[in-house]
Amino acid sequence: MMNLRRSHEDTFKAAEWLKSNKNMFRGKIYGPIQICVNVKDQKYASIVEAALGGENGSHLKTFVCENKEDYEMFTREAVDKMRLRLTVTWPGENGDQPLNPPMSEEQASSKLLRKNYGMEYFVSDLLEGPPLVIKYLCQQIKIHLIPVSLYQEDQQRIADCGQFKKFIIKNSFYTVKQYGYGRGGKQTAIRQFKPANVLADSINTEARTRLVQGLQILEMEASKINEDMEELTAEKSEMVQKERELKHEKENLQTQKRDAFHKLAKWRQGKQELEYMVEDLQRKINRPSTINEDIPALKEKIVDQAILRGELSEKFKDALQKFIKTVMKRNASAIKALQLSARLEDLKRFAKSQTSDLDRAKAEHSHAVMNTNSMKREAQRYYREAERAGNDLEEELAVEFGVILEKWKTTGLEQSEIEIEDAINAETAKADAIKATNPRAMENYEIRLADIARLETKVNSDKRTLEQMSQKIESVKNQWKPRLEKLVSRISKNFSAALQKIGCAGEVGISEHEDFDKWGIEIRVKFRDNEKLQLLTGQRQSGGERAVSTILYLMSLQDLARAPFRVVDEINQGMDPRNERMIHEQIVQGASRPGTAQYFLITPKLLPDLYYNERMRVLCIYNGEWQPACLKPTREYLLKAKAAVKC
């Protein structure tokens, strides 16, 4: 196929398409021929390839269809639609008819061919493949009439015998033509051909036969193995069914055992309560009758307590009245403070508006002074230039210039000096009006300026201090944060491993905040496969899930936090039996390792058949309102329990 892809890509594409679309056709389509036929003897591969037209010929790339409908559909799809350059054929109605060679079957046999002409085979004898393909080649290029030989030396005798129009000897292809003009005769053309390229990889028939036989043996063995597998599968199904039945029976027995154990425990508890009641009854019977003697003293005590309670009530009433008065004063002060605060804000806004007006007036005054000085300088310059200009004039012109000068002195410019002074006086009057309205405006303004300057200095100083403190905080944070993250990572690793043992998942992380007082530890857990890791809170998880997460987190700290002992109180109260058993086993294994701190687990009840080891001790604490006056040694209670079990 690789040779076909390199030599003729269109034929390769058509073959790949045909392989994927065989179900479109009613019959078989063989092709291309080079992948359908096989040379029986590889010594003749080059001769057979040359007889079929060589690797560049069209015959080896031809597709052969069994019927006309498939021929038309294949050409329509591959040639018309896909635009591929192909050779497609259909042998037609004569495809199934036998060939009629010019020689008899006896003459065409290989034995007579060797005996009479020294040739070994016809080309068709060396090919094996689909009968339709072989027959097509016989019809088109007469491969059943082309003898071949690797050893014949007398080529002329073969050409002169008149039996063969084409024959091949060694690496030469001979074509004999009969011509009838003149006295007639024969002409033999000789063509050399290259070694086989396309058919060089044909399969060795004997080797293939051996492989086919080996494959058949392996298939028989595989069939026997499949039969054994079926038997084993059936046996496995029976064993699985039996296992299910036994498991079901085991569960029933365990249920019966638990029910019997609960009934036994209830019976023991009732028996123990009965014994306590009998003992208490006997103790009360034996106790002397001193109750009547205590009644007068108890009545006096009740009277004293009632008097004391009345005095305390009076004190509470006085204190409550004082508290109410104090609250009213506080409310009045708060209202007054709000009023003063509002008045202060109004004064601040008024001072700010007055300051703005004063700044604007000062700016206008300064601008007017600058304009006045500029105009004065310009007038003086004009006056000096006018005086200098009149010095060099003739007498008549000097008189006229004097008149103009006097007129200028009289009328002046568009804005006279007086007008300028009036404008200055007007602005000064405005400033004086502001002073008259608020005499302390300038003083307050100066005070505000000083306060602003002082506050700006303080702000700048505080900014520098803040930057220094921030740098110092960041430096200190860089010292302890990596160590904290490393420690929390170890805790998270232990916590995740502990949760994985009970079929859950979890992690521990750091909850960071700008305020270091609000930093904390975040615990994320997942108790079901279809959930994601969620933050452990008092609302999202159930009580049992919170208890499991808490105890496993504490166990994760076991190797990291050094403490002389640890105490856990009623951690198992919200757990279901499965989690309680697994958590109890982890606590026992983790707390009883060598070098571990002492661990106290306090609980009012425990499940039966829990995991225990020799490094732990069970302590029963007797405490409560109905305890007997004198407890017996624990040994006696254990003996009673053993006796009850034997019963």
Same domain, 395 and 544: no
Distance between CA atoms of 493 and 557, rounded to whole angstroms? Answer: 11
Distance between CA atoms of 397 and 403, rounded to whole angstroms? Answer: 10
Of 405, 439, 473, which residue is a domain's last? 439
Record the tokens describing residue 317, joined without a space: 């009433």
Same domain, 179 and 301: no
Same domain, 103 and 12: yes
Asked, for residue 475, whether it belongs to a domain, the answer is: no
pLDDT score for 106: 43
Asked, for residue 149, whether it belongs to a domain, the answer is: yes
Q: What amino acid occupies position 484?
A: L
10, with CB counted inside 10 A (0-12, 13-18, 19+), is middle
Q: In the chain, which stretches have pLDDT less than 50?
A: 97-107
Same domain, 112 and 43: yes
Q: What is the β-pairing status of strands 62-65 and 87-89?
A: parallel
Of 168, 203, 238, which residue is a domain's last? 203
Q: 50, 167 in Cβ contact below 8 A?
A: no
pLDDT score for 427: 66
pLDDT score for 2: 65
**Helices and strands in the chain, H and E counts:** 17, 15
Same domain, 199 and 50: yes
Distance between CA atoms of 573 and 527, rounded to whole angstroms? Answer: 18
pLDDT score for 64: 92
Domain residue limits at 165 = 2-203
Same domain, 63 and 166: yes
In degrees and rounded to multiples of 5, residue 87 shows phi and psi of -115, 110
pLDDT score for 101: 47
With residues binned 3-state (H G I as helix, E B as strand, rest as coil), the percentages for the chain, rounded to 5, are 65, 10, 25
Same domain, 53 and 190: yes
Same domain, 192 and 325: no
364, with CB counted inside 10 A (0-12, 13-18, 19+), is middle
Distance between CA atoms of 123 and 138, rounded to whole angstroms? Answer: 9
Q: What is the β-pairing status of strands 598-602 and 565-569?
A: parallel
Same domain, 521 and 385: no
Q: 110, 124 in Cβ contact below 8 A?
A: no
Same domain, 509 and 423: no
Asked, for residue 215, whether it belongs to a domain, the answer is: no
Distance between CA atoms of 615 and 609, rounded to whole angstroms? Answer: 17
The count of structural domains within the chain is 3
Same domain, 423 and 505: no
Asked, for residue 138, whether it belongs to a domain, the answer is: yes
pLDDT per position as a tens digit, 99-122: 444 444 444 555 567 667 778 888
Q: What DSSP letter does each residue of 552-612 carry, written as one string? A: HHHHHTTTTS--SEEEEESTTTT--HHHHHHHHHHHHHHHTSTTPPEEEEE-S---SS---
Asked, for residue 258, whether it belongs to a domain, the answer is: no
Distance between CA atoms of 250 and 275, rounded to whole angstroms? Answer: 37
Asked, for residue 259, whether it belongs to a domain, the answer is: no
Asked, for residue 226, whether it belongs to a domain, the answer is: no
pLDDT score for 1: 60
Of 156, 184, 203, which residue is a domain's last? 203
Same domain, 27 and 129: yes
Asked, for residue 105, whether it belongs to a domain, the answer is: yes
587: domain CATH number is 3.40.50.300
